[in-house]
Amino acid sequence: MKFHDRIFLWIAVLIVSVFLLFTFWLFRVNPPESDSFASEPNPVWSVGVVQSGYARVEKGKYIYFPLNLNQRRNLAVFFRTDSRNFKIAAKVFTDDAFKRFTEDGDGEPFIQTNPVSRGNIRRLLEPGRYYVVLDNRNGDAKVNLSSLDISVE
């Protein structure tokens, strides 16, 4: 190997090393977002299907779906349980009311249904953060929803 080729090789090794160190430093300073909130469904920003299909709400529990609207949109919620004997309440909370609901159960829903085996909510929502909650906290058994459709139109 000639002297000129060795210098070129060392320069290439140095450039690659600097690039790798810079990449390592960049990821160390700006780590990728963690999946610590993976249990929370992704919010809908404008339009689309939030949930479609089957769901289950355990006895004494609730499930929720966050919405983060950047403009006025229509919310459409339809649900049906497996049996008329099983009933569940659907509620829509603003962000502040949902925080109170989760902390001490005292948050007042923006919209709600009584516990029913089949329900429908349609409402025009202003921009903001909302939560659709299917509440079985007062139920005697787990509730299987044979149909659950939540969308923002």
Closest CA to 112 of 90, 86, 83: 90
Confidence of residue 61 (pLDDT cuts 50, 70, 90): very high
Q: What's the average model confidence in pLDDT over 60-80? A: 93
Identify the helix (H) or strand (E) that includes residue 114. Answer: none
pLDDT at 56: 94
Confidence of residue 94 (pLDDT cuts 50, 70, 90): very high
User: What's the rounded Cα separation, in Å, for the pair 144 and 57?
Assistant: 7
pLDDT at 8: 85
The reported pTM is 0.69
Residue 115: which region, alpha, beta or left (left: phi > 0; alpha: psi -120 to 50)? beta
Confidence of residue 37 (pLDDT cuts 50, 70, 90): very low
The residue type at 20: L
Every domain of the chain and the residues it spans = 1-32, 48-152
More confident residue, 7 or 75: 75
Confidence of residue 36 (pLDDT cuts 50, 70, 90): very low
More confident residue, 56 or 2: 56
CB 115, CB 88: distance < 8 Å? yes
Residues forming a β-bridge with 64:
133
CA angle 39, 120, 74 (to 5 degrees): 75
Q: Which fold has domain 48-152?
A: Jelly Rolls (2.60.120)
